[in-house]
Amino acid sequence: MPLLGVDELQSILTNAFPEFDVPHVEEVTDESVIVSYAVTERHGRPGGTLSGPVMMSLADTSAWVAIMSQIGPVVLAVTTSLHIDFLRKPQLTDLMARTRMLKLGRRLAVVDVDLYSRGETELVAKAQVTYSIPPSSKS
């Protein structure tokens, strides 16, 4: 069961990265977290597609949000690995990320991330993100 909900996670995300245009937390369930990012023309690249760094950023951020949903606001958790496969050309519309926790340990978390364009069912990219969780101050 998630420890934190949509509003709490959005607040953590906004406060942790005040200088950035952060994604929007749309849904939190026992199985997944769904996060969206508002894509504009400035996120495009030649050929009318979405840039890879935007997709990698949403994969990473959505994994971080999914971890926070389970362990609370441990904002110092950091990425240790991110593998992404770009599968097809995304549309220049909102990019969506659906996460699934593969492993949540005391020190490492591994999150599976599906990326797709809003309103579409086909994946545009698939990522696996590993995070290092700092030791608890209670330890």
- pLDDT band at 1, cuts 50/70/90? low
The range of the structural domain enclosing residue 82 comes to: 6-132
Q: Residue 95 falls within a domain, yes or no?
A: yes
User: If you average pLDDT over every residue of the chain, what do you get?
Assistant: 92
Q: Other C-beta atoms within 10 Å of 91: how many?
A: 16
Asked if residue 139 belongs to a domain, the reply is no
Do residues 131 and 80 touch, judged by C-beta distance below 8 A?
Answer: yes
Per-residue pLDDT tens over the stretch 11-50: 999 999 988 889 999 999 999 999 999 988 788 778 878 8
pTM of the model: 0.92
Q: Residue 11 carries which DSSP code?
A: H
Q: Say if CB 109 and CB 130 are below 8 A apart.
A: yes
* 10 in any annotated domain: yes
* 27 three-class SS: strand
- Please write the tens of the pLDDT for every residue from 39-48: 887 887 788 7
Encoded amino acid at 19, one letter: E
- Select from 80, 77, 63, 51 the least CA-distant residue to 25: 63
The model's pLDDT over 42-95, given as tens digits with 9 standing for 90+, comes to 887 788 788 899 999 999 999 999 999 999 999 899 999 999 999 999 988 899
CA distance 6 to 48: 32
Domain count, the chain: 1
Note whether residue 138 is domain-resident: no
Which CATH number fits the domain that encloses residue 36? Answer: 3.10.129.10
